[in-house]
Chains A and B, each alone.
Chain A
Amino acid sequence: MDQGHRHKRKRQRRGLGGGGRRLSELPENQPAVIGLLAMRGPLRKRLLALGVRPGAVVRVVRRAPLGDPLEIAVGDTLIAIRHAEAAEVILKGRDGAAEEGDVSE
């Protein structure tokens, strides 16, 4: 499974793959647009309340020293989110990283 994971990542870096990238896999300081929140319940609610919503631009600021959680920036808000939670935030289907043009706001 780990192997598969790595394959998928590689593909995306080359810009071959399509959508379905997860926030947890986003490299640091590369803005992207959130496509959908693939979870239900309280976590989804809290994410929305913090501004993590479909259509918003998100950026991974850094990963914690132990690799988990991630610090992400959405608008003017800095948020700590665990790897497993970020894996359920699906980024907008676009080849490779989001283009700079998406990020102007």
Chain B
Amino acid sequence: MFQSKAAPPAHENPPETLIVTVGNPNTGKTTLINALAGSDLKVGNWPGTTVDRLEARLHADGREVHLVDLPGTYSLSPSTPEEALTAQELLRSQPAAVVDVVDAGNLERNLHLTLELTELGLPLLVVLNLMDEAAGKGYRLDPERLAAALGVPVIPTSASRGEGVAELRAALFSASVPQPQVRYPGQLEEAARRLAALIDHPARRWLALALLAGEKPLLELPNEVLQAAAAERARLQEIGVDPYLEIENARYARAHELARQVIVGAEKRLTLTDRIDRWVLHPLLGGPIFLLGMLLAFRFTFLFSAPWVGFIGDLQGVLAGWVQALDLPPLLASFLADGLVGGVGTVLSFAPVLFTLYLALAFLETSGFLARAAFIADKMMLLAGLPGRAFIPLILGFGCNVPAIYSTRILNNPLDRLRVALAVPFMSCSARLTVFVLFSAVFFPAQASLVVFGLYLLGMVIGLLTAWLVGRAAGAGASSGLMELPPYRMPTFRVIFKQAWARTRSFLTGAGGFITLAVVFVWALLNLPPGTTMESSYYARAAGLLSPLFAPLGIADWRLLGALIPGFVAKEIVVGTLAVSYLGAAPTQAIGLVQGLEQLLSSLWAALLATLQALPAFFGLPQFSAAAAAPTALQSALQSALTPAAALAYMAYTLLYTPCAATVAAIRNEFGRRQAAIAVVYELIVAWLVAWGVFHLARLWLAG
């Protein structure tokens, strides 16, 4: 959309020098690059992935530098896709220099990665970042000693205060190839040398060691090298050497030695993180603080976006009104106003929610709170075999499934990501509430809250069950709960905003077309053949085709079945479509896309809290005043069309079948076509089966 922005500046175009930054996660790398970059900072994705990519162009030493940030990693032997990306880029792109960003307050573990980097044969420069934090922890460091030992420049910085940034920029071109650092035990060292001699690549030593350790090669290597590696590895194992362990040990021993040289003074002090964690992870207060934090994130996401969603709705109305004023043939006017403007408007209405969600998530993640939330929620998620972080997408799903799907990015394991994405659509979003409110008010006026609460619970149970089953089917053991609890830090807001915008844009371009098409398709059903009334439209015919399928659920009326079709596009319009088909098309939409969204959210939040705390006393959900919005004529029409048991089945079906076209588009955008298709089919089957069960149980119950 805004491609011109990405193009390099128009003036003179000297060859750019590629410099990459590498480091452990949580070393303040992002803040450092933001400080280095000045005005030209770009946030996007690594091609073909959902991994954030940060890059900048800057002048240094009279040259043009293209600075690319590689995803944070603990080691070059990858265990996540992000980490694999870092290792591959280092091996393939052959940058002019590698800037290794080291957390000065966590030297030993960070130097472990530094030592791997020294084996790549690339010019290296070490940044001792977070010097201020290290001082706060009680560490005094001597960067000169590290420079002397490694044979590369070492620049101390405190990026969040801008300290050392100018020095770093000036030193970018003084990076040098480091001296060998790690000497491995006899036999292993010899094997590594023999193998390295066969490899034609600057990183031959690192590659040789990785092969000996039994890692999958990240580069294509000649067969003879792989065979030689296998032979050397077998020989080592024969004499009782575990190459992987020996390599790790040797690197850690050296990292330990280096850290001891560089740290010239240490007096342990209580850090800010220790003090905050005392409350946030408190045995009794931890739970409530966690819930409060989730509440704030949720409210932030939805309350701050609501006015803008409303604005887009108004905009849509105005555009449609303009089209009507154009004096076009009725069918064309309807197509433009309801189909096209409606479709684009639906797409746009998700943008504010996604933007605020990404802001909230990025804040939680980079501040360190997300890891704590995951820590607290881990035990609950373990029941479904999921990591603690999975809690966040599932919670967000109660507001809107679309951002919830995108928030699965906070999970590290691709399988976990998919499992949660398949579970999210069963979380009852605020749009589905309109249907529940209407039907429960008509059929169960006395127990409306209980029915709605039960539906939320049902969705949650099915969702968690789904995640568990998919995990089982994929043969995955319980996911790992292992993660670093990083120190609390202030996020770099400029980067967070850019990131949120880049991700929102990727939704608009990646999912927008699909959603618009879906809206146009439903428009076509309702308005074709030309000059049709609702009873004779393709819509009514399609609904008629559905009726044998839904007879076992006690739902026969074509108007009820028909409403499920636009419900595939967006659940918000189910009630509106029902009103039109029962009462005639007075206003096209009896309940607007965003009407009373705030009201819905506050009652939704009450429902969410109730489910979270699972306090039986919390059943007192607010009485839904929205029910009054449904015309009484519609209520009585529904009453004669359904039995209470069938109404329950209808609600259960609405809860569980494909939430909306946007959610499908989101799954397709994040996981691929096939996964999206599987999700849709699975949801349709589950919805029918559960609704069938609900219908028959309810019939027994209500009869007895």
Residues on A lying within 8 angstroms of B by beta carbon are 42-43, 45-51, 53-55, 61-69, 71, 75-82, 84-85, 105
Q: Give residues 409-466 of B contacting A (CB, 8 Å).
A: none
Contact B378 A80 (CB under 8 A): yes
Contact B112 A43 (CB under 8 A): no
Contact of A45 among B79, B137, B375 (CB under 8 A): B79
Interface: B483 (CB within 8 A): yes
CB distance from B532 to the nearest CB of A (A): 58
Contact of A65 among B79, B107, B112, B284 (CB under 8 A): B284
Residues of chain B within 8 A of A67, CB atoms compared: 379
The interface bits of chain B over 262-296 (1 if a CB of A lies within 8 angstroms of the residue's CB, else 0) are: 00000000000100010001111011000000000
7 contacts between A and B (CB under 8 A): A49-B112, A62-B281, A65-B287, A76-B107, A77-B109, A79-B483, A80-B481
Contact B106 A75 (CB under 8 A): yes
Contact of A50 among B109, B249, B284, B371 (CB under 8 A): B109
Smallest CB gap from B26: residue in A: A77
CA distance A64 to B145 in the complex (A): 40
When A49-B75, A64-B376, A84-B478 are in contact, do A78 and B485 touch as well, CB less than 8 Å? yes
Contact A65 B482 (CB under 8 A): no
Contact A82 B484 (CB under 8 A): no
CA distance A45 to B283 in the complex (A): 30
Contact B382 A68 (CB under 8 A): yes
Q: Give residues 332-374 of B contacting A (CB, 8 Å).
A: 371, 374
Contact B382 A53 (CB under 8 A): no
CB distance from A94 to the nearest CB of B (A): 20
CA distance A66 to B281 in the complex (A): 11
Residues on B lying within 8 angstroms of A by beta carbon are 74-75, 77, 79, 105-109, 112, 137, 248-249, 252, 260, 273, 277, 281-284, 286-287, 371, 374-376, 378-380, 382, 388, 478, 480-486
Residues of chain B within 8 A of A63, CB atoms compared: 283
CB distance from B385 to the nearest CB of A (A): 11
A47, A62, A78 pick with most chain B CB within 10 angstroms: A78
Contact B379 A66 (CB under 8 A): yes
A51, A79, A105 pick with most chain B CB within 10 angstroms: A51
Contact A69 B481 (CB under 8 A): yes
CA distance A33 to B482 in the complex (A): 19
Contact of A64 among B105, B106, B375, B486 (CB under 8 A): B375
Contact A45 B77 (CB under 8 A): yes
Contact A66 B380 (CB under 8 A): yes
Contact B379 A64 (CB under 8 A): yes
Contact B248 A48 (CB under 8 A): yes
Residues of chain B within 8 A of A48, CB atoms compared: 75, 248
When A65-B287, A77-B484, A85-B481 are in contact, do A53 and B252 touch as well, CB less than 8 Å? yes
Residues of chain B within 8 A of A79, CB atoms compared: 482-485
Residues of chain A within 8 A of B481, CB atoms compared: 69, 80-82, 85
Contact B286 A42 (CB under 8 A): no
Contact A49 B286 (CB under 8 A): no
CA distance A51 to B484 in the complex (A): 11
CB distance from A15 to the nearest CB of B (A): 27
Contact A46 B482 (CB under 8 A): yes
CA distance A47 to B482 in the complex (A): 8
CA distance A42 to B81 in the complex (A): 13
CA distance A54 to B248 in the complex (A): 10
Contact A80 B382 (CB under 8 A): no
Smallest CB gap from B481: residue in A: A82
Contact A82 B382 (CB under 8 A): yes
Contact of A80 among B108, B283, B375 (CB under 8 A): B375
Smallest CB gap from B412: residue in A: A46
CA distance A54 to B105 in the complex (A): 22
- When A and B form their complex, which 8 residue pairs have the shortest distance between CB atoms, in order from nearest? A49-B74, A82-B481, A66-B379, A76-B106, A78-B485, A49-B75, A65-B286, A51-B109
Given contacts A77-B109, A85-B482, 9 further A-B contacts (CB under 8 A): A53-B248, A53-B249, A64-B378, A69-B481, A76-B107, A78-B273, A78-B486, A82-B382, A105-B260
Smallest CB gap from B273: residue in A: A78
Smallest CB gap from A65: residue in B: B286
CA distance A81 to B380 in the complex (A): 15
Residues of chain B within 8 A of A50, CB atoms compared: 74, 109, 482, 484
Contact A65 B137 (CB under 8 A): no
Contact of B379 among A47, A54, A68, A105 (CB under 8 A): A68
CB distance from A102 to the nearest CB of B (A): 14
Residues of chain A within 8 A of B388, CB atoms compared: 69, 80
CB distance from B149 to the nearest CB of A (A): 19
Contact of A77 among B77, B106, B281, B375 (CB under 8 A): B106
Smallest CB gap from B113: residue in A: A49
Residues of chain A within 8 A of B376, CB atoms compared: 64-66
CA distance A43 to B486 in the complex (A): 19
CA distance A62 to B283 in the complex (A): 9
Residues of chain B within 8 A of A61, CB atoms compared: 277
CB distance from B223 to the nearest CB of A (A): 26
